[in-house]
A = this chain, B = another copy of it.
């Protein structure tokens, strides 16, 4: 029996992008189901009753939730090609540490940039630049975060880069001026078919933000 793979997702979500990229890396055909997060579907509520959030991967009827867990599940379920996490426990732990760092440190300040204004936005920008510099220092002169091959940490972070244009325009700064290596890394990632196919157009995101804020009742 062929695997049935459904992804509940939302185009703008960098967490959803992680699941898309991982599936593409493994060449898994999947049924992408765009969700309306302002009017949650029955299937989303049933498949992720605890958080009611995307992405949810539904594999042969069984749901897997939380994007990093989804990526790891994909890597373990289809181990054949493009291994995303090393088989060495120490390398795995390091990759998980940095993916966790991204989850803990990036969403807060970036939200202040796109949803805040004035001093709050400035504080978000300042904090975000610090986080980026930590990531740039970890990347160093490597091709990818894990070394020579594209993997878990790259997947964890690259989705945020599709929002870089929006962050820069909203808070008036240049990420490339602050972190040139990180931008070169993002460009390398974007050359991969899995990433290019999975990330929305940056300009489309920038243009959509005023509408998003309106829908969220911000400002």
Please tell me the size bucket of the interface on A: 20 to 34
CB distance from A161 to the nearest CB of B (A): 21
How many identical chains are in the complex? 2
Bound complex: CA A96 to CA B69 (Å): 7
Residues of A58-72 whose CB lies within 8 A of B: 59, 62, 64-66, 69-70, 72
Question: Which of B62, B93, B134 is A64 in contact with, Cβ under 8 Å?
Answer: B93
- Asked whether A101 and B50 contact (CB < 8 A) given A64-B93, A72-B96, A77-B89, the answer is yes
A: residues with CB less than 8 A from B are: 50, 59, 62, 64-66, 69-70, 72-73, 76-77, 89-90, 92-93, 96-97, 100-101, 134
Residues of B within 8 A of A72 (CB): 92-93, 96
Sorted nearest first, the 6 A-B pairs with minimum C-beta distance are A76-B89, A73-B93, A64-B93, A69-B96, A77-B89, A69-B93
Bound complex: CA A101 to CA B48 (Å): 12
- Residues B93 and A134 in contact, CB atoms below 8 Å apart: no
Residues of B within 8 A of A59 (CB): 90
The residue in chain B whose Cβ has the minimal distance to the Cβ of A100 is: B66
- Residues A89 and B101 in contact, CB atoms below 8 Å apart: no
Residues of B within 8 A of A66 (CB): 96-97, 100
Question: Which of B69, B89, B134 is A97 in contact with, Cβ under 8 Å?
Answer: B69
Bound complex: CA A76 to CA B76 (Å): 14
- Residues A73 and B100 in contact, CB atoms below 8 Å apart: no
Residues of B within 8 A of A100 (CB): 66, 69
